[in-house]
Amino acid sequence: MKYLPILLVLCLGLLSCKKENNTKVLYLGHTLPQTHPVHKGILEFQKALELKSKGTLKVKIFPDGQLGSEREVLELLQIGSVAATKVSAATLSNFVPEYHILGIPYLFRDKKHQFDVLEGPIGKSILEKGSKFWLRGLCYYDAGSRSFYTSNKAIRTPDDLKGLKIRVMNNQMAINMVNSMGGSATPLAYGELYTAIQQGVVDGAENNPPSFVSSNHYEISKYYTLDQHSSVPDVLLIGTKTWDKLSEEEKIWVQEAADESAKAEKVFWNESVEESMKIAKDWGVEVIIPEKSLFAEKSKSVVEDFVKEYPEMETIVNQIKNQ
């Protein structure tokens, strides 16, 4: 049953850019619920593209993982069965190595620095790197900053992580980061996490405020420490097999619509963070604002290990830090 969504797409034919009368329809699949701020951003992309093209270029959205996981939909883009998707840069790094850079802990000083980088020459260069893997980046969406939350012990300094089992994504950089701070990184499926915290299998996890609340993890977590150790963006992508079939004018419309949707999504994201933090506080979660420099200092070894593994990316990392 796992592969049913993909088989369905393939059975329907190459849907990436279906033509209906004089209208081209781009099929876009993603895994998020329709209440998510990033989905709302994608709706803005849909509206803007139809408006710019005067209805000749439309987007049909398949949310909620209808077409498969992030990795599965990326593979559908590569073969041309789906036109576009939204995925985390963490997932994308398994296809395009340069996206690993965006997961480095404390790479960005603040939100302004992050988007100055992402929307400038460095960020655009990384978006273009995916083309050789048939995955052309269009823009970045704000996916917030990940922070620690725990069930019974407050994390005020990195030393408080010692002895704690912290759930992380199955991502080597995330694992290294938690371990560097003295915690015990525990990769675990996201769907199993609520029960794992509840039963004490893990002591906590890390994620952004909207995910912390939408997953209901605030119900079983007493503490939320806003150390903001990583700020991995989401990426809106189009498959090159679809992109190459568009006219020059259509390509301009698609890029402009993507850029406009990215601006709108930031507003949706900020609204969602405010709402989520209010819900968590009203529930009784203690929100802790720690000294972030202490956590950043502990995680320096993660950056050092990264540039040893990917020496060709050290220049980009240094450019980001110095921007």
Residue of 11 and 276 predicted with greater confidence: 276
Same-fold call for 4-143+232-273 versus 146-231+283-322: yes
pLDDT digits (tens, 9 = 90+) for 123-144: 999 999 999 999 999 999 999 9
Topology of domain 4-143+232-273, per CATH?
A: D-Maltodextrin-Binding Protein; domain 2 (3.40.190)
Flag whether pLDDT at 290 surpasses 50. yes
Domain 146-231+283-322: CATH superfamily is: Bacterial extracellular solute-binding protein, family 7 (3.40.190.170)
* Residue closest to 288 by CA, chosen among 204, 214, 216: 204
Question: What is the percent of the chain with per-residue pLDDT over 70, rounded to a whole number?
Answer: 93
Cβ atoms of 287 and 281 within 8 Å: the answer is: yes
The structural domains of the chain, with segments of one domain joined by +, span 4-143+232-273, 146-231+283-322
CA distance 140 to 266: 10
pLDDT at 292: 95
CA distance 55 to 193: 43
Average pLDDT over the chain, rounded to an integer: 92
pLDDT at 2: 44
Cβ atoms of 236 and 180 within 8 Å: the answer is: no
pLDDT at 8: 52
pLDDT digits (tens, 9 = 90+) for 153-192: 999 999 999 999 999 987 888 999 999 999 999 999 888 9
Cβ atoms of 253 and 50 within 8 Å: the answer is: no
pLDDT digits (tens, 9 = 90+) for 221-275: 999 999 999 999 999 999 999 999 999 999 999 999 999 999 999 999 999 999 9
pLDDT at 172: 85
pLDDT at 13: 47
pLDDT, mean of residues 216-225: 97
